Structure 1
Amino acid sequence: MNDTLKKTPLYDVHLGLGAKMVPFAEYEMPVQYPTGITEEHRAVRRAAGLFDVSHMGEFVISGPQALDLVQFVSVNDAAGLAVGQCQYSVMCAEDGGVRDDVIVYHMDDHYMLVVNASRRAQDWAWLVERAGGFEVTLEDPSDGIGLLALQGPRAQEILDPVTDLILDDVAYYNFAEGTVAGCPATISRTGYTGEDGFELYVTEEDTVAVWDAVVEQGEGSGLLPCGLGSRDSLRLEMGFALYGNDLDEEHTPLASRLGWVVKLDKGDFSGRDALIRQREEGSHHKLVGIQLTERGFPRPGYPIVHDGNVAGSVTSGTVSPSLGYGIVLGYLPPELVGPDTEVGVRIRDKVVPGVVVRLPFYAQGSARR
């Protein structure tokens, strides 16, 4: 593996577990463990899985105009976030294109933006540039933070004995400060799988101890360590978009099924004028879900066809471990986005038939909304 790649605090743990390591967003990350992606995926749906997501970026915004800057760089409205609440949002370029999707946390005396690892450098430079004129202080403590995602219907019963928090009091998209295995932690009821679960922010030094404590507590409960492969298939079953595949600067949040986070009436923010125009004029393409009705393994880049003509391309695709058939995200023109529209995906030399469906593909997740 390339020596220039970064390593999370759990790198040696992954090697000890026999993980297959791959380069991802400048990090060396586990894509799967010897159990395999399918078993890891099923563990999260049935019991619980533990993910190392320490490669994600965390930016801290403090100062008297911290909220003002958050409001300008984020399309959602953070003004109503109480301390201990967080929200999903998007940061847009001036032309409305998606720069990144983020989670905004309202901490005691500051805000924290959690950004995608692949966009950390670009997001930081953009944020610093946008902060000019605001009375704020910016910090990037990402390298000193470990982040674990404990996901699945048994996540709470596994975490409960090793934390001092009353987890029933931590609602969906809320967080609290406490300890895990005696280590200080920010415990957030969030995730990227559609299942109930928690994301644990700890110090770099405590990451291994917290991982070990959760794994030990999960013995006998079906908990498995999980890699990027199952994280991807789990989020795809839910129709959750991935930056770099389904989200990019070529598409706005309105085109990407994220219009629900765009709050045009909150005041000015980056990309607002462009999004107002698009809401009035409509989008040229929209992100949709497609279910294959015959066997085939769809992959990103494969053409989506309609009446023999290429109408779009697959942005994310797999065979769903939970459902047993091919599932796809991709952009199609407005006339083809309605449910039950018949389309196909060209896989090698064959067009595999499919149909546009409502998302999520998998609707039995345990996440408490």
Structure 2
Amino acid sequence: MRRTALFDVHARLGASLTTFAGWTMPLRYGSDLAEHHTVRTAAGLFDLSHMGRIAVTGRNAAEFLDYALAGRLSTVKAGRARYTMLCHTTGGVLDDLVVYRLAEDRFLVVANAANAAMVRAVLGEHANGFAVEITDAGGSLIAVQGPHAVKVVGAGDDLPYYGIRPAEVAGRDVLLARTGYTGEDGFEIYCADADAEAVWDALAAGGAKPAGLACRDTLRLEAGMPLYGHELTVRTTPFHAGLGRVVALDKPDFVGAEALRRAAAEGTATVLTGLVTAGRRAPRAGHAVLDPVSGDRVGEVTSGAPSPTLGHPIAMAYVPPVFATPGTRLVVDVRGTREDAEVVALPFYRRSPQ
């Protein structure tokens, strides 16, 4: 198992550790529920150094990313970022990514931890004929998420959402990005491994409380954010997940173009929707979604949990479009117990405007 530069910090704080995508990571430091509420009401501090960070540089970098990825990265201005996807030629999603443009010919591609090596390899396969260099960017990644994030960081109030710029934290040079995966305001901070502990300690001293992967999952679920391996897989296109907006269909040529144009024109057999249940037992990934009249299986839960913020179970599931209208009544088979469910629009939670 690989360890992040903050492993000793997590051990000192008494974190419950878990293995994830080949890394030893903090699952929680105390209570999942308390950490979740801290992010919603104040500021949580996350070690995300297991995420893949891939540098794409060279005079053809923008042109290359336009071809390799679903979005149009050439229109992103330096200092800004875009959410996009790496797709198979079949249109299926290989990974969802955040891509930062650091300069005219320099991009930072951030991939999910479990897919990092694959993303770098696939980008390399698509690079033939382009003047680009694809390398491991390295370093550590620390996130501060929550309504008090600006106060904790002491900078970035003027940084737009999905913006990135050089900054200084604890006297260390960092890249400060206003991005995140919790549904709250916040920052993701890229720094050298040697500076990670000093940056973490400064943010903790500023009031951010350590938070682990467990609450990160309930936070992103409430915010309706897809997780690779659950809502997104190589068997689903962005259009299945309601994310067709990230695909620049008007590009002349890109990987998966034919399949994605077909999905956009013809629609998909299933679509991602939200479910809420009133019972105490929460739907979980893999549970069957049933037609309440016939009892037939019509879909499958991709993620589900009790919502700490809303106070009742929530889930995301793939169902046929005919069952996806908000207000539709369905049933979820929760380990042999039939739980009534109602379709709702995503996200389940949206933070109040600042």
Deviation sequence 1:13-48 (CA, Å, 0-9, x none): 1111111111101001111112x1100000000001
Q: 2:100–2:109: 8 Å Cα contact kept in structure 1? A: yes
Most deviating of 266-275 and 40-49: 266-275
Residue 187 (structure 2) pairs with residue 198 (structure 1):
yes
Aligned to 2:343: 356
Residue 312 (structure 2) pairs with residue 325 (structure 1):
yes
Aligned to 2:196: 207
Counterpart selection for 1:171 from 160, 165, 168? 160
Q: 1:50–1:148: 8 Å Cα contact kept in structure 2? A: yes
Could you tell me which amino acid in structure 2 is paired with residue 70 of structure 1? L
Could you tell me which amino acid in structure 1 is paired with residue 118 of structure 2? Q
Deviation at 1:295, TM superposition (A): 2.4
Report the 3-state secondary structure (helix = DSSP H, G, I; strand = E; otherwise coil) of the residue aligned with 2:157.
helix
Equivalences for 1:186-265 in 2 at 5 Å?
186-218=175-207, 223-265=208-250
Deviation at 1:169, TM superposition (A): 2.2
Counterpart selection for 1:316 from 268, 284, 303? 303
Counterpart selection for 1:157 from 151, 155, 162? 151
- Structure 2 length normalisation: TM-score? 0.97
Distance 2:141 2:70 in 1: 25
Distance 1:167 1:126 in 2: 34
Deviation sequence 1:77-131 (CA, Å, 0-9, x none): 1122111000111111001000100011111240111000010111111111111
Could you tell me which amino acid in structure 2 is paired with residue 333 of structure 1? P
Distance 2:342 2:125 in 1: 44
Aligned to 1:139: 135
Counterpart selection for 1:288 from 269, 273, 276? 273
Residue 171 (structure 2) pairs with residue 182 (structure 1):
yes
**Structure 1 residues not aligned, in runs of 5+:** 161-165
Distance 1:37 1:316 in 2: 17
Aligned to 1:298: 283
Report the 3-state secondary structure (helix = DSSP H, G, I; strand = E; otherwise coil) of the residue aligned with 2:74.
coil
Distance 1:10 1:66 in 2: 32
Q: 2:244–2:264: 8 Å Cα contact kept in structure 1? A: no
Distance 1:276 1:310 in 2: 29
Deviation at 1:233, TM superposition (A): 0.3
Could you tell me which amino acid in structure 1 is paired with residue 169 of structure 2? V
Distance 1:278 1:262 in 2: 11
Q: 1:237–1:362: 8 Å Cα contact kept in structure 2? A: yes
Deviation at 1:64, TM superposition (A): 1.2
Deviation sequence 1:216-270 (CA, Å, 0-9, x none): 111xxxx320000010000000100000111000000000111111110133111
Report the 3-state secondary structure (helix = DSSP H, G, I; strand = E; otherwise coil) of the residue aligned with 1:148.
strand
Residue 58 (structure 2) pairs with residue 63 (structure 1):
yes
Aligned to 1:346: 333
Report the 3-state secondary structure (helix = DSSP H, G, I; strand = E; otherwise coil) of the residue aligned with 2:250.
helix
Deviation at 1:168, TM superposition (A): 2.5
Q: CA RMSD in A?
A: 1.1
Report the 3-state secondary structure (helix = DSSP H, G, I; strand = E; otherwise coil) of the residue aligned with 1:76.
coil
Q: 1:195–1:365: 8 Å Cα contact kept in structure 2? A: no
Aligned to 1:125: 121
Could you tell me which amino acid in structure 1 is paired with residue 244 of structure 2? G
Counterpart selection for 1:116 from 103, 112, 119? 112
Distance 1:298 1:22 in 2: 23
**Structure 2 residues not aligned, in runs of 5+:** none
Report the 3-state secondary structure (helix = DSSP H, G, I; strand = E; otherwise coil) of the residue aligned with 1:266.
coil
Q: 2:143–2:189: 8 Å Cα contact kept in structure 1? A: yes
Distance 1:158 1:256 in 2: 34
Distance 1:173 1:102 in 2: 13
Report the 3-state secondary structure (helix = DSSP H, G, I; strand = E; otherwise coil) of the residue aligned with 1:250.
coil
Report the 3-state secondary structure (helix = DSSP H, G, I; strand = E; otherwise coil) of the residue aligned with 1:107.
strand
Aligned to 1:87: 82
Could you tell me which amino acid in structure 2 is paired with residue 189 of structure 1? R
Deviation at 1:141, TM superposition (A): 2.4
Report the 3-state secondary structure (helix = DSSP H, G, I; strand = E; otherwise coil) of the residue aligned with 2:119.
helix
Q: 1:45–1:365: 8 Å Cα contact kept in structure 2? A: no
Distance 2:157 2:307 in 1: 31
- Structure 1 length normalisation: TM-score? 0.93
Could you tell me which amino acid in structure 2 is paired with residue 334 of structure 1? P
Deviation at 1:312, TM superposition (A): 1.5
Distance 1:98 1:300 in 2: 19
Could you tell me which amino acid in structure 1 is paired with residue 260 of structure 2? L
Deviation at 1:365, TM superposition (A): 4.9
Aligned to 1:337: 324
Equivalences for 1:29-40 in 2 at 5 Å?
29-34=25-30, 36-40=31-35
Distance 1:363 1:65 in 2: 38
